[in-house]
Amino acid sequence: MAKIISATAIANNEVAFLAWQTDPVEIEGCLGFHIVREYLDGNDKVISEKPLAAYVGFNGQRNPEWNPQNTSVWPVQKYTWRDLTLRKKRDAAERRAANERVRYRIRAVGRWRDGLEPVVPIEATHWDATTRTWVPSTYEGKAVPLSYLTPPMLSNAVDVTASRPPFYSTFTNGILSTQFLVNALKDDDEEISEGELAGHLKKPGDKLRRYLSGDVIETIRDFFAQPKGSLYAALYELEDEELLEILLENVSRLNLILSDAGSGPDDDAEPKENGKKQTKYDTRNDPARKELKKRARQDNNFVMIDRMFNGSGHIGHNKFVVHVDGRGKPTSVLTGSTNWTWSGIAAQSNNCVRIDDPDVAAAFLQYWEQLRDDPQKAPKPTTAKAEGAGQGDALKEWNQTPITVDIGGGAKAEIWFSPNVPGKNQPPSKKAKKPSPPPPDMDRLFSLIRKAREAIFFAVFLPSRGGFTSIVEEAIQLGTKDTSLIVHGAISDTQAMWGFEPSSTSDDGKKIPSWSPHIFRQNGVSVIRATALTDREIGRDLGDFQLEETLTTGKAIIHDKVLVIDPQDPERCVVAFGSHNLGYKASYSNDENLVIVRGHQALAQAYAVHVLDIYDHYRFRAAEAEVAAAKKGRRSNASAKDSQWDGFLDTSDNWQENASRRLSRYFAA
């Protein structure tokens, strides 16, 4: 008898990732899997249940309004799945309660036939914005009655929480929920106007902003709500109205190092001799800086330090805050990849983590003091170019040694800071004849990557051009040599993608445009570039999927800087996070922080779920774009094995032939 032989669930505070294995590997007549989320009480007894949402119908059916069904109607045709509605509802821009305990019940299904237990379709409803009522979700086409082919298999129970002491790890949802957002923005007038999404995301209290920011804003607010004591912050970007207000509310106990961010043409300055406009710097932070300085003149307790690198090639890229209690003892630190901007909070994929460990907090406070003691000459005005800006060797030398902390349970945290390469050196170019030794923090990351036994996962924005001298290069080179290793990664910036080639000129003077693949796949390596569903990229109809070009809010779709190694190994697991972009440039030139945690499996799994959520969302889009490029005669990495999905479920069991089981074998071993 066919059966599911194992099922595993891991989760963070937003999403659960499921994996399962079957016997036999391919089940005759299988049309997918019906998955039910079971809610558990303190004794792991089921108190309620809910089938997982599904939006993609069978061939011959249509769901043009993208109304929710569930897996009793449209089963899952994969061996891994993300429970995206664990916290985020799909029938409204609302979120479910946190800190639930759940497990999953999984059964294979096929076409209904006599002698098998029938699958009873569970009615789905959605909110109708026109009638302002809940209505049944319908679809076009003939229903496909289903029967169960296997007994149920239960996964392990997981807690849907951000709390993993001493860590409190939260993640933004960004604009990953793009098909939902297209419909949410059309609710009022059936159109999406230019800048409409940004308008929602900038507005404090807006329902879409709350939906997409996850628990991050609440995490920041709770951190600042700690009683008494002082706060020491080092920030790169600061333009979000709500987060600025949090700083202003705490100004009497705030010590702030604010760097510069943004640049553009200065319309008020006299043009240069060649007629070109002069450059204005700190365009993003200037309004907040002025407001904070105004408050500083009113409150003598407020300490504010301008750390300006305008146009120097250096940036003060940190985003951390340290809490020091009333006795002068550091207690906790807030860090991660989330810039204090509306896009960082709600439009990008980011992480924000609170670490309640006095030794870790003390390490960050020492670094804050090192930054304070490394003054930069402020340009006048602060929007002018900074002459001679650059961190001093004393700071760089102090940053060369990590601070290692025992965080309990056998886990350790290594805290690295940058810049940590003394002198005026710059990262080596790809054309360098003699490779330069890696900076000490990157050397440590490379060493850990090379010790990976089973899996490496990463999500990055722009560690370097073409992934050179970064964790991207190291992980891919290792994965292509060791075919047993799983390497899955997601990259945001076009130039950071593995295989990127800048524009050049041929021998006959013809300009060759730059080229960046959407996907790199070889053996167990699969690295994708974040790609929206647009006419330009995809070039064809995708069933009921709707185009997403109207949702673009900037190129940093993925702003995370995350590396996870062997998350299923409780002793050898590694997770790295912080502001560091995980390439040489950050170590050479920027104020950065990097936290490497070893042996804390709950945290490693939480971050692995986040990376896999991003990866799986963009994998389909990247593959579509790559195959489309090949069909249009453009340069492409698409192989003969790649084929475009038609946007519907298969009505036969043939989908099993091409379904990948590599991740399911790893997680559901």
Residue 435 neighbours by CB distance under 10 Å: 8
Helices 241-249, 216-224: inter-axial angle, 10-degree rounding? 10
3-state secondary structure of 628: helix
Helices 286-296, 241-249: inter-axial angle, 10-degree rounding? 20
- Ranges under pLDDT 70 in the chain: 176-180, 182-194, 433, 533-556, 638-645
In 3D, which of 291, 221, 224, 293 has the Cα closest to residue 253?
224
CA distance 413 to 557: 28
Return the domain boundaries, the chain: 3-160+643-667, 163-502+511-618
Amino acid at 490: A
Helix, strand and coil in the chain, % to nearest 5: 25, 30, 45
Helices 440-450, 471-481: inter-axial angle, 10-degree rounding? 20
Residue 81 neighbours by CB distance under 10 Å: 23
Read off the tokens for 501.
């080639």
- How far is the CA of 560 from the CAs of 563, 579, 581, 645, in angstroms? 9, 8, 8, 28
3-state secondary structure of 9: strand
Amino acid at 363: A
Half-sphere exposure for 175 (CA within 13 Å, toward CB) = 32
What is the per-residue pLDDT for 78? 97
Fold type of domain 163-502+511-618? Endonuclease; Chain A (3.30.870)
What is the per-residue pLDDT for 178? 67
Which residues, at least 6 apart from 275, have a Cβ–Cβ distance to it below 8 Å?
A: none
What is the per-residue pLDDT for 127? 76
For 117-140, how does the pLDDT look when each residue is reduced to its tens digit (9 = 90+)? 999 999 998 877 777 788 899 999
CA distance 533 to 642: 18
CA distance 519 to 494: 11
